Amino acid sequence: MQLPFASVCAGRPALGQILVYYMVLTCMTAVFYYAGRFIPLLQCGNGESAAGSRADFTRGARIYGPLILLAAGLIMNSIFLRQIRPDGLVVTAIDVGQGDGFLVETPGCCFMIDGGSSSNARLGENILEPLLLAKGITELDFAVISHGDSDHTSGIEYLLSGASAIRIKKLVLPAPARDNGAYDVLRTLMMNAGEASVVYLRDGAMVSCGENFALRCIYAGNTDVPEEINRNSSALLLEDGIFRMLFTGDMVKEDEPGLIVSYRKLYAETPLTVLKVAHHGSATSTGEELLETIRPRYAVVSAGRRNRYGHPSEEVTERLQDHGTSLLETAKAGAVEFRVETDKLKIRTCL
């Protein structure tokens, strides 16, 4: 198992790939069957050692040659089943229940922003790992944690625990996490996994995620009250051309003015494409001034079905509707996938 390619994760193939695979397999089987049926085998004559040796070689070639070709063909045919990586940016709001979890895929990079749940104790084992393996992903370039609440970190902790087939190369934490004991579990798991790479975000920091794609920290979290975990929440803006998606963790209204100042400085109130609604749609977040500044075209709320918090709140839902924002909820739609293709944005729900 230490050898290269001893284990290969092909991912879950598309229907077209499966059809091509079986068509080729059928043709190969037919050729092998008829070749074995109609090509006569040479018989060895008694007492003809030299001629017999040549006959044995020829007969062996005719018997084992097709077998070798069939085996080689099967291996080559399996290439049809390998997961096809996206040509552009794909962002998936994973249906984690009551929590947050986003998978970002680019042609040269895969990473997660949060990954936890308070309603699904086996999120990492039952949802995150199967999703990643289905996409043919066994390695994440990094995992960004917006803040230290378990409904944002529990699945990432599983992926780091050593029980998972997924490797995380780098852990990205908010600035207030540097001297905060609430993040010790994540740091310890990262070190135990043999990866000592932990990065702390600062205002304006750029996280590399492939050519033509940028993940920018436009608010690094409130360092004045590190004990209030929700106020540690960083705000990250993912860009691909004119597509912009803002991730806000569980940011509260008290910290939104800092985000607003940074956004106006960088984008001069340019409308946002997608907003990840803060704190699962709680009334304590997503204020009027923020929405007037960013004017999102779409908003996605990650929350559990019939959750006891009443997320998303009617107040936030009405504010979004008043600003002409189309609302998508994982509680109703299941996973939500945003796929950016040149000048088009495709949205797919996966309930």
pLDDT tens by residue, the chain, 351 residues: 788 878 788 888 888 888 988 888 888 888 777 766 655 544 444 445 545 555 565 666 566 766 777 777 777 777 778 888 888 899 999 999 999 999 999 988 999 999 999 999 999 999 999 999 999 999 999 999 999 999 999 999 999 998 898 999 999 999 999 889 999 999 999 988 876 689 999 888 888 776 778 899 999 998 888 788 999 999 999 998 889 999 999 999 999 999 999 999 999 878 999 999 999 999 999 999 999 999 999 999 999 999 999 999 999 999 999 999 999 999 999 999 999 987 789 999 987
Instruction: Find how far residue 270's CA is from the centre of its chain.
Output: 27
Nearest-CA neighbor of 158 among 188, 183, 138, 128?
A: 128
Does the predicted TM-score (pTM) go above 0.75? yes
Domain ranges of the chain: 15-81, 90-349
Under the phi-then-psi rule, with left for phi > 0, alpha for psi from -120 to 50, and beta for the rest, what region is 216? beta
Topology (CATH level 3) of domain 90-349: Metallo-beta-lactamase; Chain A (3.60.15)
Residue 45 to residue 49: CA distance in whole angstroms = 9
DSSP 175: G
> Kind and range of the H or E element at 102?
strand 101-106
